[in-house]
Amino acid sequence: MKFGVIGSGSWATALAKILTDNGNTIHWWIRNAETIEYMNERRHNPHYLSNAYFDHHRLHLQPSLEQLVADSDVLVVAVPSAYIEEVLSQLPAGALKGKQVVSAIKGILPSANQLLNDYLAQHFGLPLTDYFTVLGPCHAEEVAAEKLSYLTFSGIDETSALEIAGHFKTPYLNTLTNHDVIGVQYAAILKNIYALGAGIAHGLEYGDNFLSVYIANAADEMVSFLKRLVWDKESAEEQKTINYAASVYLGDLLVTCYSLYSRNRTFGNMIGKGYSVRSAQLEMNMVAEGYNASRCICKTNETVQAPMPIATAIYDILWQHLPARQGFRKIEGLLV
């Protein structure tokens, strides 16, 4: 398999490290020509995970997205969801024919309120059988430090998912597979919203007890949404095989709510301390996927009709200018 990595942020850099550490030679799309020149000379990304060094013989850095796609069999998409449409608009409609796409984004496309697989099917005719996700409780910073981590590769074609996952398995990265390609994406979207809320709670100086109760209730709310979402897409028997306590669901929620590496938690912490949304965005200079996700999930839930009082309260804080303290007073009365 010839892999192409699309994106140059911290998670794209971590995935590129995993692939090359496992002996793969990759094509890597990086928009900035100066960054490409620097990496060719210095063997590391100057902007993200700068302590992760690469064997330059295994890198083909490419400023042309269309050429990268032509040169690759499997495309790993690691661009923030808010920018993915702008990036992929460079490609002609037939560019993805015969390709497999692995989504590494943990968000929803905000302009169309779509998952990436729906966008690719609509604009490029990519069948769901050629679409996979790589998700789970994994931080780019820990990958760079080679701390043991777990990632789950999901696809309705589990044989292909297993084959792709094998190219990422290293001594510091264990890989798992499942078939719930839609559910895991929504779980990743929701955990960012709840993690942002956990950050708000921290900024408001709630304690560990409250946070643990909050996360337990958020997990229950997430599972309720996921069960309603897939009910019409999967038989009852198939749904029973989904373990919502697994790392790609509950594990990812926990780490994103608790970890100091979590940008959503950091963003929420600023909101809890009194920052405006815009001020927090400028301060971080990084994308917190939970911000746009909170609005998109509320829109999606108009159809799903799952009870989501926690996600709704966070949406009201972020988008309807509800004071954070007032919003969490509402949440206090909901928790069990």
**What does the pLDDT look like over 60-69, one tens digit per residue?**
999 999 999 9
Cα separations in angstroms, 89 against 80, 96, 97, 175: 15, 12, 16, 31
> Which residue has 């972020």 as its token pair?
318
| Residue 202 token pair | 């921290």
Structure confidence at residue 235 (pLDDT)? 53
Q: 318 exposed, middle or buried (CB, 10 Å; 0-12, 13-18, 19+)? A: buried
How many residues belong to the chain? 336
Q: What average pLDDT does range 314-320 have in this prediction?
A: 96
Which amino acid, 64?
S
pLDDT at residue 281, as a whole number:
84
Tokens of 92: 């002609």
- Dihedral sign (CA 85, 87, 90, 91): negative
Give the angle 327-331-336 at the CA atoms, nearest 5°: 175
Q: How far apart are the first and last CA of the chain?
A: 49
Q: What's the pLDDT at 241?
A: 79
The larger pLDDT score, comparing residue 230 to residue 82, is at: 82
CA distance 172 to 129: 29
Q: Rounded mean pLDDT of 121-131?
A: 97
Determine the Cα angle at 157 with ends 229 and 294, to 5°. Answer: 30
Instruction: Give one DSSP letter per residue of 264-280, joined into a string.
Output: HHHHHHHHHTT--HHHH
Q: Residue 181 pLDDT more than 90? A: yes
- 324 DSSP 8-state letter: H
Tokens 């608790």 correspond to 258
Structure tokens at 277: 């949304």
User: How far apart are the C-alpha atoms of 127 and 79, rounded to whole Å?
Assistant: 21
**What's the pTM value of the predicted model, to 2 decimals?**
0.92
Give me the pLDDT at residue 288, please.
Answer: 81
Q: Looking at 167-181, 275-289, 296-310, which range is the least confident one?
A: 275-289
242 φ, ψ (degrees, to nearest 5): -85, 125
Spatial CB neighbours of 211, under 8 Å, sequence gap ≥ 6:
198, 201, 202, 257
Per-residue pLDDT at 237 exceeds 60: no
**pLDDT bucket at 284, cuts 50 / 70 / 90:** confident
CB-based contact 32:8 (threshold 8 Å): yes
Give the whole-angstrom CA distance, residue 138 versus residue 65.
27
Instruction: Provide mean pLDDT across the span 45-58.
Output: 91
Q: What percent of the chain has pLDDT over 90?
A: 84
CA 217 to chain centre: 21
pLDDT at 287 exceeding the cut of 90: no
pLDDT of residue 238: 61
Q: What is the mean pLDDT of residues 84-104?
A: 95
pLDDT at 247: 95
Confidence of residue 167 (pLDDT cuts 50, 70, 90): very high
Question: In the structure encoding, which two tokens stand for residue 9, read together?
Answer: 């942020």
Q: Does position 239 have pLDDT exceeding 70, yes or no?
A: no
pLDDT above 80: residue 275: yes
State yes or no: pLDDT of 18 exceeds 80: yes
Lowest mean pLDDT among 46-50, 184-188, 284-288, 296-300: 284-288
CA pseudo-torsion sign 161, 164, 166, 171: negative
Average pLDDT over residues 286-306: 90
Average pLDDT over residues 232-236: 53
Query: Residue 107: which pLDDT band, with cuts at 50, 70 and 90?
Result: confident
Across 123-134, b (16+ Cβ under 10 Å) vs e yields bbebeeebbbbb
Is residue 113's pLDDT more than 60?
A: yes
Q: What's the number of CA atoms in the CB half-sphere (13 Å) around residue 230?
A: 24
Q: What is the pLDDT of residue 234?
A: 54
pLDDT-above-70 percentage for the chain? 96
Mean predicted lDDT score pLDDT of the chain: 92
Sign of the Cα pseudo-torsion (17, 23, 25, 27, in order): negative
On the question of pLDDT at 231 being above 70, the answer is no
